[in-house]
Structure 1
Amino acid sequence: MNAVIDTAERDLLPSMETLQVGRRTALMKPIEAISAILLLVIVGLLIAGVVSRYFFDQPIVWIDEAASIAFLWLAMLGTAIAVDRSEHLRLTVLVARLPERRQLLAETFGLVLTGTFLAVLLPQAYKYAVGEMDITSSALDMPVGYRVSAIAVGIALMLSLVVARLFRSSSFSHFLISASVVVVVAVVLWHLAPWLRSFGDLNIAIFLAGGTALCLALGVPIAFCFGIATLVFLCFTTTMPLVVMVGRIDEGMSSIILLSVPIFVLLGCILDATGMGKSIVDFLASLLGHVKAGMSYVLLGSLFLVSGISGSKVSDMATVAPALFPEMKRRGHKPSEMIALLATGAAMADTVPPSIVLIVLGSVAGVSIAALFTSGFAIAMVLLVALAGLARFKARHESTDGTRRATGRLILKSAVVALPALVLPFLIRSAVASGAATATEVSTVAVLYAFLIGVVLYGGISPIKFYRMLVETAAMSGAILLILGTAAAMAWALTQTGFAFHLRDALSALPGGKASFMLISIVLFLLLGCVLEGLPAIVLLAPIMFPVARALGINDVHYSMVIVTAMNVGLMTPPVGVGFYIACKVGNVSPDEAMGAIWPYIAALLIGLLAIAAVPWFSLALL
């Protein structure tokens, strides 16, 4: 992982990474078609629920349950599509520095680790599904096992794709070395298991922290990093049955609030396809393009508004950069400065609703999403002012002699074209903040609105393009949700060891009270934002950190804004921050060139972050 690791960005979530698309397999064509149908079914069910509740005052009680079933199947099939397309978020900075031969070995070793994890988990997922067959759902009166069978099916599909990629892209010698290392390490750990169990909390550092770090360094996708580390920890340092891990993954992926994730991802795709985001950029350019730092203001303002539609940093940057960068270059802006402003502007806008990170945080920490959306809008304004001030300072010598002010007719024309798109972010924020609708309901209405407006006013979407959007949404959503599932399993393992309680007690006893705890939180989430991106960090630490914050008298919404902002800054901070490299890729600028220019902008964000932490009013004034 605004998330969609932003997958994903190729944000949260995402999402959030720019990897080459893997060669498609024939097996995946029907899977993609099923996923597209499931997404349409979910949207249809949610729209039917909204219409029946608000227009006929007759809620359909089984809709949430049916949508939840389709949602888990969509998520697990999406994880397989993401594996096929190499769209799972991973950290490649360290592997990319290796010689080519060692890169190939590291890639093979990562695939073997991933395949081993899936092979061990598959029978446990089957066992979990069989056990759930004895439980009947309340509304549809059907065995719950039919829903959770999606986990076993998704794992089986991912395993087959990983094996196929090993045969297709790895040499036999690399495979043999990797498999031998895995087998030898497993045998050694098995024999040492009784001794390892006496290590207590040290096992957390060795297996959960160390295992995750090793897998990250090898370029293993983040979701599998968490899964592999947790699986090894449970196998060799506890007597816990592994089927429990599958249950935690199910729980982490199945919250009804998370139904809005694929819907907002689809909304971002529609935004890109119809050009609604570009119309906003053009309108702001007609208003501000003629003043000093005008194009910087337009870039920041566009990210602020477009983020409120798409909910995805990748979508935001991909919409704004191509529309503005040519004109900014013509006016003398350096490419490195443009990338710095693009990256930090995307970080600034990540709290603008609809933010997938805020939705996940509300789900995990039990904080009102309506309050988070309202506060997030204000916090983004604080960061916007900080970045705009720096941009104006840097543009103090900029020449605007050859720039003409847009005519009133042109401004009016661009405003009319942009108006339907401009309405959407404010519609989303006001509907959720007022309590008129849930985030899931608003996401569905927003998709319907954007689709109809896009078809009628912005040139439409061809059936082929729409189908590809549905499949892309499934892949991005699956990548985001698998991170949430495996991170939830790791968080549960931490809780079971008692480490979470020890950490909570240590943090509560810090000298300096609120101020010390807030500073430690900022540093911690800055570091985690660099490596993990927002979504997994939230799932791992929110259950630990929020009780401490509450005990110290820190408001939930205020603390949420501080940690989310810290993670966003970390995400864009080189040399590790994934978002920084996404911005470089979108703007087609070398990371080495952009790295030197981004630090003043990072400093501006940090000043804004410290102000947000020190002054709760910024977070709470609009509540």
Structure 2
Amino acid sequence: MIAAIVFVIMIGLMVFNVPIAICTALAAVGGIAWASDVPMMIFVQRMFTGMDTFTLIAVPLFILTGRFMALGGITNDLISMSKVLVGYFKGGLAYINIVASMLFAGITGSAASDTSSIGAILIPAMEERGFDKDFSVAVTATSSTIGVMIPPSIPMVVYGASSGASIGKLFLGGIIPGILTGVALMIVSGVISHKKNYPSDAFVGWKESILITLKGIPALLTVIIILGGIVGGIFTPTEAAGVAALYSFLLGRFYYKELRFRDIPKMLAEVALTTGQVALMIATASSLAWLFAQQGVPAMIGGLITGITTNKFVLLLIMNALLLFVGTWLDLSPAVIIFTPILLPIATSLGIDPVHFGVIMVVNLAIGLFTPPVGVCLFVSCGIAKCSISYVVKAFIPFLVVMIGVLLLITYVPALVMTIPNLLM
């Protein structure tokens, strides 16, 4: 009964565009009020406990790394590297958009940062070159979701803190799914580009290509620092995030020479604002997750799902369908916190590794980042293109189909997720 009340409150508030953190907070308060045996002070206590984790310090540090890189000149270099790699294909700017997102994903760990940084440059450029606006928005929003798959990934940090799974293994497990997603999106873009005869860019020449690649390599070393430090046992994920932030600052200030000291106060204020929003979502979701656990909701939902069937493949399909639905109306981080304690016990009872399930969950919920009504990448992309969501929805369908295909592939072929973590850790 409490679960039903909580979800009714949340969905009712979302209809009126109430921020997600406030929705989860009021839903948790409503659930606690209904459960008369639970003191209201528990709500605040569980908010604090949910944030009192050393691992979560990595979240603002990864956000800061992304801001240093974005303002330090890295975005243009990543786009230039992408142009060298794929710009000469038919519909080259669409390929550039996707490859730049894959490269940018290895630096920021945030889909929204990817959308705003890459999209602000490439959506107007694609329109100027004759690409349809809805196609440009669709490519940008869908490719931005790779930001939460390829390491570092903020949602994977949140999942690791919620489940106890190794964050290093989660990072490594996201590499192949992220690459598969990028390749799938490029295939769709290629088919559409040939059908609509979108233009390509001229090859810049071998000498220029080598110079552009060499110039961009220091930025890509951020990924090596993060992964190498964690896998080698040199850093914890939080320490790796701190080192990456320092490295990105030094890179932007002394290598690219575009990061100015007078920009830092404003940048820190932006990071603080973003961190506050994420932290509030995590805190309120933690309180709601505790309420569910205290009222036995995970066991109830688990019994309901396993009561339908005991077939492992069907159960995985049901959990994926549930998460796809959840991702359309709940932001990624709170969804991870709320549904990890509900679904992870079912997954482990089926013999699924927590790391494998964590990657499945993150990739699944990433799809929600470009689906209405809550898709943040969709809103940011439409804002850049100055168009309505209804105008671009149809263009998203082929991209949505192939991303669901990748999701099913990594769900039923565990080796795609677990091979690299098992080899290196």
Does residue 407 (structure 1) correspond to residue 173 (structure 2)? The answer is: no
Question: Structure 1, residues 557-593: CA drift from partner, whole Å, max 9, x if none?
Answer: 2211222111111221235533312221133333222
Code of the residue aligned with 1:209 in structure 2: it is F
Residue in structure 2 matched with residue 535 of structure 1 by the alignment:
333
Residue in structure 2 matched with residue 124 of structure 1 by the alignment:
none
Residue in structure 2 matched with residue 444 of structure 1 by the alignment:
242
Q: 1:524 and 1:352, CA in 2 relative to 1: closer, same or farther beyond 3 A?
A: same
* Residue from 279, 282, 288 that aligns with 1:484: 282
Does residue 432 (structure 1) correspond to residue 230 (structure 2)? The answer is: yes
Asked if the contact 2:90/2:190 (under 8 Å) is kept, the reply is: yes
Structure 1 segment 218-367 matched on structure 2, within 5 A:
218-367=16-165
Residue in structure 1 matched with residue 3 of structure 2 by the alignment:
204
* Residue from 487, 495, 518 that aligns with 2:316: 518
Structure 1 segment 430-509 matched on structure 2, within 5 A:
430-509=228-307
Asked if the contact 1:281/1:323 (under 8 Å) is kept, the reply is: no
| Distance in 2 of aligned mates of 1:402 and 1:493 | 54
Q: 1:571 and 1:402, CA in 2 relative to 1: closer, same or farther beyond 3 A?
A: closer
Code of the residue aligned with 2:80 in structure 1: it is D
The SS at the match of 1:621 is: helix
Asked if the contact 1:508/1:552 (under 8 Å) is kept, the reply is: no
Asked if the contact 2:106/2:220 (under 8 Å) is kept, the reply is: no
Structure 1 segment 59-78 matched on structure 2, within 5 A:
none
Q: What residue ranges of structure 2 are gaps of 5+ in the alignment? A: none
| Distance in 1 of aligned mates of 2:298 and 2:241 | 34
The Cα of 1:500 is off from its aligned counterpart by 2.0
Asked if the contact 2:73/2:258 (under 8 Å) is kept, the reply is: no
| Distance in 1 of aligned mates of 2:374 and 2:41 | 35
| Distance in 1 of aligned mates of 2:182 and 2:287 | 36
The SS at the match of 1:396 is: helix
The SS at the match of 1:292 is: coil
Give the TM-score of the pair, scaled to structure 2. 0.94
Q: 1:308 and 1:283, CA in 2 relative to 1: closer, same or farther beyond 3 A?
A: same
Asked if the contact 1:305/1:425 (under 8 Å) is kept, the reply is: no
The SS at the match of 1:532 is: coil
The Cα of 1:453 is off from its aligned counterpart by 1.2
| Distance in 2 of aligned mates of 1:333 and 1:402 | 11
Asked if the contact 1:292/1:398 (under 8 Å) is kept, the reply is: no
The SS at the match of 1:622 is: helix
| Distance in 2 of aligned mates of 1:425 and 1:569 | 23
The SS at the match of 2:259 is: coil
Asked if the contact 2:91/2:198 (under 8 Å) is kept, the reply is: no
Question: Structure 1, residues 84-139: CA drift from partner, whole Å, max 9, x if none?
Answer: xxxxxxxxxxxxxxxxxxxxxxxxxxxxxxxxxxxxxxxxxxxxxxxxxxxxxxxx
Q: 1:388 and 1:403, CA in 2 relative to 1: closer, same or farther beyond 3 A?
A: closer
Q: 1:501 and 1:330, CA in 2 relative to 1: closer, same or farther beyond 3 A?
A: same
| Distance in 2 of aligned mates of 1:578 and 1:404 | 34
| Distance in 2 of aligned mates of 1:537 and 1:517 | 19
Does residue 599 (structure 1) correspond to residue 411 (structure 2)? The answer is: no
Structure 1 segment 126-165 matched on structure 2, within 5 A:
none
Asked if the contact 2:115/2:377 (under 8 Å) is kept, the reply is: no
| Structure having the higher Rg | 1
Q: Choose between structure 1 and 2 for higher RCO, CA contacts under 8 A separated by at least 6 residues.
A: 2
The SS at the match of 2:420 is: coil
The Cα of 1:399 is off from its aligned counterpart by 5.2
The Cα of 1:398 is off from its aligned counterpart by 6.0
| Distance in 1 of aligned mates of 2:205 and 2:106 | 28
| Distance in 2 of aligned mates of 1:576 and 1:443 | 28
Q: 1:401 and 1:443, CA in 2 relative to 1: closer, same or farther beyond 3 A?
A: closer
| Distance in 1 of aligned mates of 2:385 and 2:226 | 29
Asked if the contact 2:98/2:143 (under 8 Å) is kept, the reply is: yes
Code of the residue aligned with 2:2 in structure 1: it is N
| Distance in 2 of aligned mates of 1:351 and 1:316 | 12
Percent identical: 28
Asked if the contact 2:160/2:166 (under 8 Å) is kept, the reply is: yes
The Cα of 1:324 is off from its aligned counterpart by 2.7
The Cα of 1:595 is off from its aligned counterpart by 1.3
Code of the residue aligned with 1:360 in structure 2: it is V
* Residue from 184, 187, 211 that aligns with 1:386: 184
CA RMSD of aligned residues (A): 1.9
Question: Structure 1, residues 462-512: CA drift from partner, whole Å, max 9, x if none?
Answer: 333100111111111111111111111111111111222222233334414
- How many residue pairs match? The answer is 421
